[in-house]
Amino acid sequence: MSASYDNLFIGGQWAPPTSTRTIVVHNASTGEHIGTVPEAAEADVDAAVAAARRAFDDPSGWSSWAPAERAAALERLATELDSRAAEIGRLVSMQNGMPIALSPLIEGMTPVGTLRYVASLLATAPVEEETSRFLGGDLVIRHEPIGVIAGIVPWNYPQTLSSFKYAPALAAGNTIVLKPSPETVLDSYVFAEAVIAASIPPGVVNIVPGGRDIGAYLVQHRDIDKVAFTGSTAAGRQIAEACGRLLRPVSLELGGKSAAIILDDADLDLAKIGQNLFAATLVNNGQTCYAGTRILAPRSRYAEVVDVFAAFASSLPVGDALDPATLIGPLVAERQRDRVERYIAKGISDGARLVTGGGRPAGLDRGWFLEPTIFADVDNKSTIAQEEIFGPVLSVIEYTDEDDAVRIANESDYGLGGSVWTSDNDRARSVIRRVRTGTMGINSYLPDPAGPWGGVKASGLGRELGPGAVAAYQNLKTVYA
């Protein structure tokens, strides 16, 4: 299967690019060339932003629609994406290695659920609120769309993380310019087809594929009113600096090094917890920002926890992302595998004990495969415990008591996800209240559109989704009546 495109999606139609540069897309499981798309140039970004601005400024356009009208349009888009879930899943699996057993559900259906959740918020989202002045008289508080949004998304969950931006942004009445990552661009064309089929007005959604230079140009474009970014902490800092100079609103969902805290009463029967453990730690081949890559184990059960995770990692089938039996597919690119291998070598040289994995699986000579890897006897101050590896590598770290577990969990620059594993939910909640992070799970980890999504510390600024999803893309205007 291959797909090549000649045009960009700008202003609600397929537009020829201004440059002859192309992005070559590869199959992560085989290394084969599977498609090309145009690489946007600065002039293409200008055209996309201008189209979004026209659509926003149109007196009878998207921003002026009643909330119920926008909700109906988002429901149509959800329906169109639903019908394309299998196709989107397959394309994502080919590009970034996400196993096909997961991609139609995660990448195909999460945007559908996100759109429908956000559309449901519009039933009660106020446009104007009348209230009383503290000093006497009346006030009107208007909730108005911000304007043109720049949405920049990474390659690991391209459609899911795009929807976290466009769904609430569009619901609030904004228009958007999306920049997908060069590694995962083919799925964005299927999304564009769904936008057209859903009769979303021209210019409301625009897509400009490109690398970091195009992302930087989009972030600093004079007609962008807010930036929503998901990606690395290093890139997030650069975007924050640019937006700070411009006094431009920005939301940043960045890296993570989450702790999975195994309490001393946890049930470690893999037959019972294996599926949830996988979702919390190694889903998408470890290419997940919220993954619990630091396994905090009590001293009293440390050896048992190490053995359980070794058995767990060794049991996961590694193979072609399009094989339904695969649970660990390839990494997105050769350079990503090289990066993860450097971290594995660093872990060994720093004295951690390699329990299982650490190499390239036998019989998979094409593509960018790596065995699920477990380290034991890891110092929480070591490189592999502190830096985001973004691959199928877990570090098991010993703690003495709950206070020590909380200390170690918080001894990180990051704070995005995490989980607590225990037979006592009240005990889990007590621990969770003390961990500095944006999200946590009890005996599982599964993000939901109804829950505010984001991190603290180096894991980002702001929140996506949840009850305040639409409000995050609105300005408040006070009218003194």
- Which residues form the catalytic set? 253, 289
How many other C-beta atoms can be found within 10 angstroms of the C-beta atom of residue 68?
11
What whole-number distance in Å separates Cα of residue 169 and Cα of residue 81?
17
- Locate 9 and state its tokens: 């999606």
Edge-first strand order for the sheet with 460-461 is 13-15, 8-10, 205-207, 175-179, 148-152, 226-230, 250-253, 460-461
- Locate 380 and state its tokens: 């929480």
DSSP string, 405-472: HHHHHHSSS--S--EEE-S-HHHHHHHHTTS--S--EES-----TTS-B--SGGGEES-BSSTTTTGG
Q: Return the amino acid letter for 92.
A: V
- Please give the DSSP secondary-structure letter assigned to residue 346: H
Q: 38 near 23, Cβ under 8 Å?
A: yes
What whole-number distance in Å separates Cα of residue 311 and Cα of residue 305?
10
